[in-house]
Structure 1
Amino acid sequence: MLPKFIKPRFFDALSNMTGRYVQPEPYHKAEGLVKKVYDQVIDEFFINAPMTTHAVSPEMLAGVWMAEREIVLTDNHLTREDKEALGVTISQVNSCAYCEDLMNSVVYGANELELAEQMRYHKQDEIIDERTRLLHAWAQSVYDQDAEILYQPPFTHDEAPEVIGVAMMLSYFNRYAQVFFSGSPLATPISSTTLKSILYRLTGVELRESVLRRLRPGRSIGLLGPADLPQDLQWAAGNSTISAAISRWASAVEKAASAHVPQRVREVVKNEIKSWQGAPMGLSRAWLTPKTVGLNQANAAAVRLALLTALSPEQMSDDIIDAYKEHYNDTALVVTVSWSAFMASKRVTGWLADKTGYFDQHQYAVAS
């Protein structure tokens, strides 16, 4: 295993191997709220570029960290291992190789080798434990609004904030990572299942100490002040810690967006996400053209970036980013991507919560 003082630098470098468009703020330059967040991340998880690239907006960084920690990394009705594994399946659904590989390394690190192998080869239907198999079947169906399992979820009302919360976190990070990372840092230069297995296991060994540590819920909540839980996130209300984390995260994202995403852009993007039902947008980007009619160049560039992030992040390319950067700086870029990913993930969890039957009908169906 790597020496303790080297490990944070190793994972920081590994996680940014495929980074593009923006640079994360290094730990040695962090101060104030950013340093407080980094210190918690290093202590309880591992420093990583999908987290540190948020540092251009300190409150947004704190919000996404507390949501990740309180939803995924702490044990409650579900163990951390359960939730990390669900994250792998959702990452596969969202075609995010970056998150899939890093999260499956965590499952390897938890010594859940059989489960990790089943997910690696997309064989969740071979999971022996029925409860676990059904949870993964639910995760595989998050975009199929007619799927029976969404109406008969394999989790209880009390478990819903965790399970739906995992869907929200990964729907967010998958979109964010597909914009700012060009692929998995564990991708092998040649197509070798043996080499990939070695990389998974080595990374898992280095993560094991962190993965097996039991975290106390609530430690991160004090990083930001209280905020109201939005109406369309009320599915989280049954878990006070998750509710506190998500409400603060939502507030931080909206505050940052108000400062860096033009109001007209937000109006267009919200309207499109509101009507989106989860279907793929198609192979071309022709669907974007009518969305920018009547907009000036700056707003049109921002709308294209935001809608691709939210609805079709796999179609993101350099020309979209270059056109955006002609009008906006890197802080605005990160905030726009973060806000768009957040809005899309909120839309997904809205219909997931609505279909469980555990909550007021249609309370979450429309993204605000």
Structure 2
Amino acid sequence: MKDPRLLVQSPLRRLSLLQVRHIATVPFGEATGDTARVYRELEQDFGVLAPPIALHAPVPALLAASWMTLRETMLVEGLVPRAAKEAVAAAVSRSNQCPFCTTMHSTMHNSLTTRPTSSGRGVKAGPAGGAGTAPDQLTAWIGSAGMPPFAPELMPELAGTAFCLQYLNRMVNVFLGAQPLPPRAPDRAVGPVLRVLTGLMRGSVRARIRPGRSLSLLPHAPLPKDLGWAAADPRIAAALARSTAAVELTAAELVPEPVRDLVAAELARWDGGDPGLGRAWLDAPLRELPPADRPAGSLALLTALASYRVDDKVIAAYRQNGGGDREILAVTSWAAQRAAQRRSGQLLRDN
């Protein structure tokens, strides 16, 4: 029996991909191999062909990595209900000035809390007392980078969700608009679109997706030391190990080594704050790069530290120096991932 959601999902496919800017997309009907598999799993397990994941399709390994991270940390319901993860996702998105993700995850959180889809079971009390996963507690934790209010065994799911959104917020700010709408769609369409999208996504929550299904998309890899907090959940640890390795391998092939070295050094000094609208913080380190690498360095640093400032001019400058769609995705995904790892470490520094 066909999934009744297909009646809505099918016409949404083209509208989802129309939202992606700066790079070409892979249409649903033209996807093959692992790309086709991820597209199908997106609709089945997330409810829609989500643009924040689908935009990675020109590089199948990055598509698999982004999907694996989202699915295994946020969508699989382990010890933590989806509503709590949506609260974390919304809080992280607000902190990163990502209106697209803030709108989507706030709406989904409100939908799940006003009309619960699961049993409503609680989670184990954390060191701050109570369940530790009330929205205000989770929002405060994201904002303060202090002691988590929940039990240690919940860390892989909740910190994993935060890590995932730190990455996706940056990619969304670069490649998507402020709202989940195609270009030139009127703002008044946001409400009806959100009702359709949340309805589809709620259907995937009710379905209780199978844990670990996405792991076969990428080969085994060691867990990075700065993601050691995930080790308590072998499934999430495996997902993050494989996905981060895929991004690193892609960057090693397509991102100049001087750019990677520079961004790594800047992130090591970064305190997690917004560098502001001036250019001094950007221009000074870029002067350390060979002139041919500066457009890639600019794109990488902006993606990592101020992704909302990546515009057509930044992308065009990189293209003029030979950067194609695959290179643009490699630079941005690597910078976003490294920034997400850095922010995760700062978030958990007192744990």
Query: Which residue pairs with 1:137 in the alignment?
Result: 140
Query: Which residue pairs with 1:50 in the alignment?
Result: 52
- Tell me, in whole angstroms, the C-alpha distance in 1 between the residues paired with 2:115 and 2:150: 24
- Tell me, in whole angstroms, the C-alpha distance in 2 between the residues paired with 1:72 and 1:12: 22
**Deviations 1:26-65 (CA, angstroms, capped at 9, x unpaired):** 1211112212222222221121222112122212211211
Query: Which residue pairs with 1:365 in the alignment?
Result: none
Asked whether the 8 Å contact 1:226–1:248 carries over to 2, the reply is: yes
Asked whether the 8 Å contact 1:101–1:186 carries over to 2, the reply is: no
Alignment of 1:198-209 (within 5 A): 198-209=192-203
SS in structure 1 of the partner of residue 23 of structure 2: coil
Query: Which residue pairs with 2:180 in the alignment?
Result: 185
SS in structure 2 of the partner of residue 54 of structure 1: coil
Of 230, 235, 253, 1:236 maps to 230
1:263 aligns with 2:257: yes
Of 229, 245, 255, 1:251 maps to 245
1:153 aligns with 2:148: yes
1:325 aligns with 2:311: no
Instruction: Note the C-alpha offset of 1:332.
Output: 0.3
1:338 aligns with 2:339: no
1:167 aligns with 2:165: no
Asked whether the 8 Å contact 1:27–1:38 carries over to 2, the reply is: yes
**Deviations 1:196-252 (CA, angstroms, capped at 9, x unpaired):** 555433432243312322112111111112111011111111110000000000110
SS in structure 1 of the partner of residue 315 of structure 2: helix
Alignment of 1:239-318 (within 5 A): 239-318=233-312
- Tell me, in whole angstroms, the C-alpha distance in 1 between the residues paired with 2:181 and 2:114: 19
One-letter amino acid of the counterpart of residue 136, structure 1: T
- Tell me, in whole angstroms, the C-alpha distance in 2 between the residues paired with 1:240 and 1:272: 31
One-letter amino acid of the counterpart of residue 27, structure 1: F
Query: Which residue pairs with 1:363 in the alignment?
Result: none
**Deviations 1:111-165 (CA, angstroms, capped at 9, x unpaired):** 6369xxxxxxxxxxxxxx97412112212x1xxxxx4xx3331112111111111
- Tell me, in whole angstroms, the C-alpha distance in 2 between the residues paired with 1:130 and 1:265: 40
Asked whether the 8 Å contact 1:105–1:203 carries over to 2, the reply is: no
Query: Which residue pairs with 1:211 in the alignment?
Result: 205
1:110 aligns with 2:112: yes
SS in structure 2 of the partner of residue 158 of structure 1: helix
Unaligned runs of 5+ in 1: 115-128, 142-146, 357-368
Instruction: Note the C-alpha offset of 1:337.
Output: 0.5
Query: Is 201-210 or 154-163 further displaced after alignment?
Result: 201-210
One-letter amino acid of the counterpart of residue 286, structure 2: T
One-letter amino acid of the counterpart of residue 137, structure 1: A
Asked whether the 8 Å contact 1:285–1:315 carries over to 2, the reply is: no
SS in structure 2 of the partner of residue 217 of structure 1: coil
- Number of residues of Structure 1 aligned to a counterpart in Structure 2: 331
- Tell me, in whole angstroms, the C-alpha distance in 1 between the residues paired with 2:186 and 2:39: 31
Instruction: Note the C-alpha offset of 1:294.
Output: 4.1
Asked whether the 8 Å contact 1:55–1:61 carries over to 2, the reply is: yes
- Tell me, in whole angstroms, the C-alpha distance in 2 between the residues paired with 1:102 and 1:347: 24
SS in structure 1 of the partner of residue 340 of structure 2: helix
Asked whether the 8 Å contact 1:70–1:218 carries over to 2, the reply is: yes
**Deviations 1:287-307 (CA, angstroms, capped at 9, x unpaired):** 211111143333100010000
* Alpha carbons of structure 1 residues 81 and 262: separation in structure 2 relative to 1, 3 Å: same
* Alpha carbons of structure 1 residues 232 and 130: separation in structure 2 relative to 1, 3 Å: closer
* Alpha carbons of structure 1 residues 26 and 198: separation in structure 2 relative to 1, 3 Å: closer
- Tell me, in whole angstroms, the C-alpha distance in 2 between the residues paired with 1:11 and 1:101: 18
Query: Which residue pairs with 1:30 in the alignment?
Result: 31
Instruction: Note the C-alpha offset of 1:109.
Output: 4.6
Of 48, 60, 63, 1:61 maps to 63
- Superposed CA RMSD: 2.4
- Tell me, in whole angstroms, the C-alpha distance in 1 between the residues paired with 2:191 and 2:9: 22
Scaled by the length of structure 1, the TM-score of the pair is 0.83
Asked whether the 8 Å contact 2:272–2:346 carries over to 1, the reply is: no
Instruction: Note the C-alpha offset of 1:169.
Output: 0.5
- Tell me, in whole angstroms, the C-alpha distance in 1 between the residues paired with 2:336 and 2:288: 24
* Alpha carbons of structure 1 residues 241 and 311: separation in structure 2 relative to 1, 3 Å: same
**Deviations 1:47-90 (CA, angstroms, capped at 9, x unpaired):** 12221121222122112111110100011121122212321121
SS in structure 1 of the partner of residue 21 of structure 2: coil
One-letter amino acid of the counterpart of residue 342, structure 2: R
- Tell me, in whole angstroms, the C-alpha distance in 2 between the residues paired with 1:326 and 1:112: 50
Asked whether the 8 Å contact 1:108–1:201 carries over to 2, the reply is: no
